[in-house]
Every structure is written in C-alpha cells, then in structure tokens.
A = this chain, B = another copy of it.
Amino acid sequence: MHKDLIAKLADTESLKTIWNRQKEGFAMPSISKLTEIVELSRAILFPGYFGDAGVNHLNLPYHIGINIEHLSELLIKQIEAVLNLTNENNSTENKQKAKEITFHFLNEFPLLREILATDVIAAYNGDPAAKSYGEVIFCYPAIRAIINYRIAHTLFKLNVPLIPRIITEMAHSETGIDIHPGATIGRYFTIDHGTGVVIGETAIIGEHVQLYQGVTLGSRSFPLDENGNPIKGQLRHPIIEDNVIVYSNASILGRVTIGKGSIIGGNIWIEHDVPAGSIITQKTQAKK
C-alpha cells in the first residue's frame, strides 16, 4: 500500500545525521524504567508520602529493603546501557562500573533525605499558604523538582551520562521547573510556584535561597569556536550567595555573583555582579 514510502523512510541514508551506526547495537535508556527509578527514590526518601501509603514504623524496614533492592537492580541496568552507548569500554567493564556507581549513589540516600528535609522546611516557612510539612511534600511541585534535581545531581557527579538530564527533564515536564543536573545548590532551597524557572548547568546557589516562578539563572552569550558554534563547558551561569531572594520572572545572566542577602525584584534583567545586601527592583511607567 505504502511500499515506496516505506522504502524511503527505511533508507538509512535519510538517518545518517541522527544515527550513530557504531553504537547501533546499543539501546537508549528506558524512559519507563527511569520513571520507576524516580518513583522508588521518592518512596525511599519520603516513605508514606510517595510509594505505598500503608508504611508505618513497624513495616518500614521491609519497604525500604524491597525498594532499595529493586532500585539497585533497575539502576544498574540503565547505567550500564548509557555507558555502553557513550564510552569505548567493553560491556563487562561497563557492567562493573555501573554496579560501583549504583553502590555509591545509594549510599548518598541518607544524606539526600537530610538535605531534602531542609528544603521542605524552607518551602513551608517561605509560603504563608502552606499548612503543614506534609502538604508541602505531598502537593508542592517545587519539592518534586528539587528531589529529581538532587537525585540527578548525585548521578551527574558520578559521571553518569544522559540519565541525569532525563531525570531533570521529567521534573521539567511535570512542574515547568528546569534545573540542569550540573547546577550546585545548597540546603534550605525553595521555589515558589515554579513554572518557567530555569537554572543553568554551571550555576552555584548557596543556602537559604528562595526563587519565584519564571526566574532564569542563565548564560549571557557564549564564546564561539572557529566554526561559529558555542564552546562547550564554560562557566557561564550566575553564583547566588546565601539568603538571596529572586522574585518572579527576573533574569540573572552570565557568570555574575549576587551577594549574600540580596533581594532581586520581579521582571529584573541582571548581567552584572550585585553586592551583598542589595535590593534591586523595577520602576513601573504609567501611560495616561
């Protein structure tokens, strides 16, 4: 019926830009498995809020045990897959490496839970509408985005390719908050409402920082290479020091530093350093 069309679309010539034939045998990571990995991580970090609702202090060990084991098994396979896809080692070496990475990753969970608890406290304290820690964990999109970021960042530091970005993009799609897994973010971090927030790869954020919806911590312009393409890997995103608040839709661009305790007003566009304790706001113009 569609014989010619099928032949055209099955012609690998038409795929040469986007296919890497050397790596043809290796599959992309599985989105559904990574979704499961995120859900298991959430269930381990915040038992009772995510995952099985019937957790109590008596059966907690069994739930944690099963979830850790299941998570470990799934993650090893996914990391192995991306290593095979992106490096030159043989598959036995990659399997071994995947096991080691997973082991290190899981051992960060007690610390991750501790840090995430500070984010919950920050969200609760920063929002007069919040009624309880439980509501914050259970309902606030920022918490989901930050959990995904902290998981992804842990994998990013362990040099796992591709997967960290997929995990933060899952949160991006779910919450409209786009945090690059490479960013460095301190404790007691919170984002109010969150839709449209962008935090770039090399951004550094201190402790007790609060962002509002639409805030961009982006790059300004990139040095180009000889072909006119941006040079990869430059430090090009802002440093936000402790106790800074950035209101909605403000943009802070380039490797600038916003000093401790500053307040950046909404809709502001900043491309330069700001000293500690500054308050920067926009003036409105009324016509007629």
B113 touches A138 (CB 8 A): no
Task: Report Cα–Cα, A86/B135, bound state, in Å.
Answer: 11
A109: chain B residues at CB < 8 Å are 5, 9
A9 touches B286 (CB 8 A): no
What would be 20 A-B contacts, judged by CB atoms less than 8 Å apart? A6-B64, A9-B44, A9-B64, A9-B110, A10-B64, A15-B47, A18-B133, A20-B133, A28-B134, A63-B66, A128-B234, A129-B201, A138-B162, A176-B176, A178-B213, A193-B216, A214-B214, A214-B249, A268-B284, A280-B285
- Chain A interface size band reads 35 or more
Nearest-Cβ distance from residue A282 to partner chain B, whole angstroms: 5
Task: Report Cα–Cα, A284/B272, bound state, in Å.
Answer: 10
A280 touches B269 (CB 8 A): no
> Which residues in chain A, 218-250, are within 8 Å of chain B measured between CB atoms?
218-219, 222, 229-234, 236, 248-249
Residue of B nearest to A164 (CB): B139
17 additional A-B residue pairs with CB within 8 Å, beyond A54-B69, A278-B286: A2-B68, A5-B107, A6-B65, A7-B61, A9-B64, A12-B57, A18-B46, A18-B49, A24-B57, A27-B53, A59-B66, A61-B62, A128-B236, A135-B162, A139-B162, A176-B196, A280-B284
B117 touches A18 (CB 8 A): yes
Which among A2, A174, A198 has the highest number of chain B CB atoms within 10 Å?
A: A2
Known contacts A28-B48, A129-B232, A279-B288, A174 near B173 by CB under 8 Å: yes
Binding site for B on A (CB under 8 A): 1-2, 5-10, 12, 14-15, 17-21, 24-25, 27-28, 30, 44, 46-49, 53-54, 56-66, 68-69, 72-73, 85-86, 106-107, 109-110, 113-114, 117, 120-121, 125-135, 137-141, 161-162, 165-166, 169, 172-176, 178, 180, 182, 193, 195-196, 198, 200-201, 212-214, 216, 218-219, 222, 229-234, 236, 248-249, 251, 253, 265-271, 274, 278-288
Residue of B nearest to A114 (CB): B14
Task: Report Cα–Cα, A120/B196, bound state, in Å.
Answer: 22
Residue of B nearest to A20 (CB): B134
Nearest-Cβ distance from residue A84 to partner chain B, whole angstroms: 13
A218 touches B288 (CB 8 A): no
Nearest-Cβ distance from residue A158 to partner chain B, whole angstroms: 16
B62 touches A65 (CB 8 A): yes
A214 touches B229 (CB 8 A): no
Nearest-Cβ distance from residue A249 to partner chain B, whole angstroms: 6
